Structures are given as C-alpha cells and as structure tokens.
Amino acid sequence: MSGHNVWTHKGTFLLAAVGSAVGLGNLWRFPYLTGENGGGAFILIYALTIFAVGIPIFIAETMLGRTSRQSPIMGMRHLTKTHKTSRAWESIGWLGAAAAFLILSFYSVIAGWALHYTWLMLTGSLVGADATTISAGFDALLASPGLMTLYHTLFIAFSALIVGLGIHKGIESGLRIMMPALFAILIVVLIYGVINGDVGAAANFLFTFNIADLSLEGWLQAMGQSFFTLSLGMGAIMAYGAYMSSEASLTRTAIAVAFVDTAIAMVAGLAIFSLVFGAGLETDQGPGLMFVTLPLAFADMPFGALVGGVFFILVLGAAISSSISLIEPVAAFLVERFDMTRPQAVTIMVVAAWAMGLLTVVSFNVWAEGTIFHALFERSAFEFIELLTNIFMPLGGLMIALFAGWALTQSEVMKELGTNITWFKTWRLLVRFVGPAAVSFVFLRTIPQVEGYVVPTLGALLIVGVFALSQRLRKSA
C-alpha cells in the first residue's frame, strides 16, 4: 500500500518489537511460573520453544506485516487477494484483533497493580512491614473495585495517549526513552540483588536442569509462556512489521528480539529470586510472587523503598510498551478501514477495552463468585477472558505459520526472507511442520481441562481442516 508509514530508523522495529515483547510476561509471569514449575527444567523447555517455534513464527508474522504494509485485518485481506488464496485466512487478522482487545482489557488492570505498588514503595508505606501486613494490603487492593478501576483507568489512558500521538511522535520517541531506562533500572535491581540477596541460590534454582522437576502441565505452560512473551499470534508484531524498513533482515531481527526478551526474563528471574532467597521466602507463591513476596523483600532491606519504587517503575514502563502494541493493530485497522483520525480510532479501542477491563476488576471482588461466568464456565469473568486469549494466541500462531508456510507464494516468501536457500528451507520446515505440530499439542492439551473431550476433538478437526485447506491452496515454490 502506498503512503503507509515506515519507522523513521531502520532499527526502530527492533526497539518497538522488544518493547512489545518485554512486559508483565517477563517480569511478573515468567518468574512465578518458573517458581511454580521447578526452575531450570521449565526454563529449558521455554528456551527451546522460543528458538525452535517462536523465532520462525515471529519471522512469519513480521513478514505478513511488512509485505502487506497494512494493519493485520486489512493486510491479511490484501494478501489473500494478491496471493490468490482463500479469504478465510483473513480470520488471522480478526482473531488477532479480538485477542489484542481481550489481553489489553486485563493487562491494564494487572499493570494498575504495579502503579499501586510504585506509589506504596515511593511513599515508604511498606517500610518494615511484615508478611501479614503486606499480604493483607494486597488483598485489600483486590477487594477494592474503586481503587483498581482508578489505576486501570490511569494506566490505559496513558497508553492511549502515546499511541494517539502516532507512530513517530508517540510510539517511537516514547520507546527511545523508555527502553534504555528500563534496561538500566533492571541492572540496578540485579546489582542490588547480588549485593543484598542470595544470587548463588537463585542461579542454582534457575539453571539446574532436572527434567524430572517438570510436570506435563509445566511443560505446556512453558510453551504457552514462550508465545505470550514474544507477543506472537495477536497481530501486534504484524502491525509493527507493517512499518518495518524493507532493508532490515527478518531473521536477524527475530533472533535479536528473542534474545533480548529471553535475557530480560532471565535477569529479572535472577534479580527476583536473589531477593526471594536472600529474604528466606518461598519460590512457589504464584501470581503473588511479585506483588506480595517482593514488597516483603523490599520492606526488609536497606533503601528497600527506593529500590522497590524503582523496580515497580520498571514494571510499569515494560507494561506500557507492551500495551501500546496491543492498541496499535486495532487502531490502525480503524484508521485504514473507516478513515478515522488516529485519536478517534485509539479512543474507540481504548474505551471499549477499558469497559471490558471492568469485568476483570470485579472478578476479584463483587463478582468473585456466583456470576453467569461461574455457572457456565466454572470460572470468573477474568479467568474466562484469560482462557479465551490462551486459545486465540496459539490458534493465531498456528494459522500464521500455516499461511506463511503453505498458502503464500513461496517465491515471494523467499524474496522477503532475503536469505540463502538452506535457511529458507529450514525456516519453511519449521513453520510448515514443527511449529504447527508443537502449537497443536499445546492447544489440544490446554483445552481438555475445560470441556472434557468434546473441545479437543473439535480442535483436532479444526486443525486438520485448516491444514487440509492450506494443502489445497498450496502454491508451488
């Protein structure tokens, strides 16, 4: 498409993609999942999936954005026409938009908790507090719909402001300040952890690979986490890819993003567990690891209020650079399709996601039980929304891999990949078979907990169907 925006600098895509990838997934979710799933063994599977499945799909998703130079929905429509494939593939764009909308709705609420803790830390409210006081404080936050709504509103409004300013003035300059600051702060927290915590115990916990520690469930969670952490399958990377310079290498960029994202998760894990072990706390705290256990560690340390405040600012920065990548694909679609101005498009997306987020807010208090979601799905509205995104995410990744590997005209794919034949063939093998097989496995194994055997059977049929369709639509290379 002519006249489409391109990032000002060749390297900005890398910055933006790293901003999207590094977020609550690295700093909050990765450490607690690792803590719950036996440390090193979890990390091993996570890292293997990132490199064998995540990177090839990341390349595919960026490629779809860059060749179409449009938002995910319009871009997929364009590609189905130019590559003469079924319009059904357009569903990749719609699925991504739906997932981005749903993730934004709860991501903003959780990020709001970080805002609360930034405030508590910087005002010194938790200095010297004991475990009971801190966990009661967390419970009190969850019990207050008003407070949670306030933080949720502030967080989402700030994200909207950045995207509303446009990709150059808003996203690019925001990231250029935020990302380096983020790295610097993380290093400060790590150094602090090394000096005051127990880095030896943390390293031992994170890097001792004992595969027997890992349950099948943990194995699946490790694969799921590698998708979430790279922002795959949701259109975010495709939307950013649309602004990517034609000269930048897809492969090198994908490897760089995966490398930085993994490194940040590891450093965060090392810093967090150094503090946790140093303070003699438990590793398997679950989602409370960051919001309960860490403030407890900070409460007990010299200069803990300052280091804790700085740490939660880091969490906020990482969450904002991810949430803007959730707004962008939908906002860009509204601009392209309905000729809206950018601020109008962003407002529509954000107001809708904000309202949806209220469902997550009340899931922790007034609607914690006895709602229609509990009656129908045996879970709260928040857990239901999270479940939906857990289905959409691998499904989107699977379809992107199949579309890029089978449906696209392979000679053009090779041109985009701009690389040698050996790597092209390896990549194609990965997206045609390895990625889809791994994703189907995760997908089928996540769902049985919900609906017995009906849903996995339907899922298997769906996957076989998509696969058969892609075979039929296959073009010769």
Binding site for ligand PFF (CB under 6 A): 20-21, 23-26, 100, 103, 228-229, 231, 234, 236, 322, 325-326
Nearer to ligand PFF among residue 36 and residue 61 (C-beta): 61
Token readout for 120 is 């508590």
Residue 68: count of CB within 10 angstroms of its CB = 23
CA dist 232 and 209 (Å) reads 26
What does each C-alpha distance from 324 to 170, 236, 349 come to in angstroms? 10, 9, 11
Closest distance of CB 329 from ligand PFF, Å = 8
C-alpha span between 71 and 342 (Å, rounded): 13
Token reading at 29: 């979710």
CA dihedral 66, 231, 14, 351 (to 10 degrees): 80
Q: Is the dihedral of CA 325, 330, 331, 333 positive or negative?
A: positive
Which CB sits closer to ligand PFF, 196 or 389? Answer: 389
Coil, helix or strand at residue 430: helix
- Closest separation between CB of residue 230 and ligand PFF, Å? 6
Please state the closest distance from residue 30 (CB atom) to ligand PFF, in A. Answer: 8
Nearer to ligand PFF, 100 or 398 (CB): 100
Q: Return the SS3 of 156.
A: helix
Residue nearest to ligand PFF (CB): 25
User: Radius of gyration over alpha carbons of the chain, in Å?
Assistant: 22
DSSP 3-state percent helix, strand, coil across the chain (nearest 5): 80, 0, 20
Q: Which is nearer to ligand PFF, 111 or 292 (CB)?
A: 111
Q: How far is the CB of 106 from ligand PFF (least distance, A)?
A: 11
Q: Report in angstroms how near the CB of residue 240 gets to ligand PFF at its nearest.
A: 10
C-beta of residue 221 within 8 angstroms of C-beta of residue 37 = yes
Give Cα 358 to chain centroid, integer Å: 20
In the complex, minimum distance from the CB of residue 236 to ligand PFF, in angstroms, rounded to a whole number: 3
Closer by beta carbon to ligand PFF, 97 or else 270: 97
Q: Are 349 and 330 in contact (CB under 8 A)?
A: yes
Nearest distance in Å: CB 228, ligand PFF: 5
Minimum CB distance to ligand PFF, residue 259 (Å)? 15
Tokens of 110: 């959780």
**Measured from the CB atom, is 274 or 325 closer to ligand PFF?**
325
Residue with tokens 């909308």: 101
- Nearest CB to ligand PFF, comparing residues 135 and 231: 231
Of the pair 110, 299, the CB lying nearest ligand PFF is at: 110
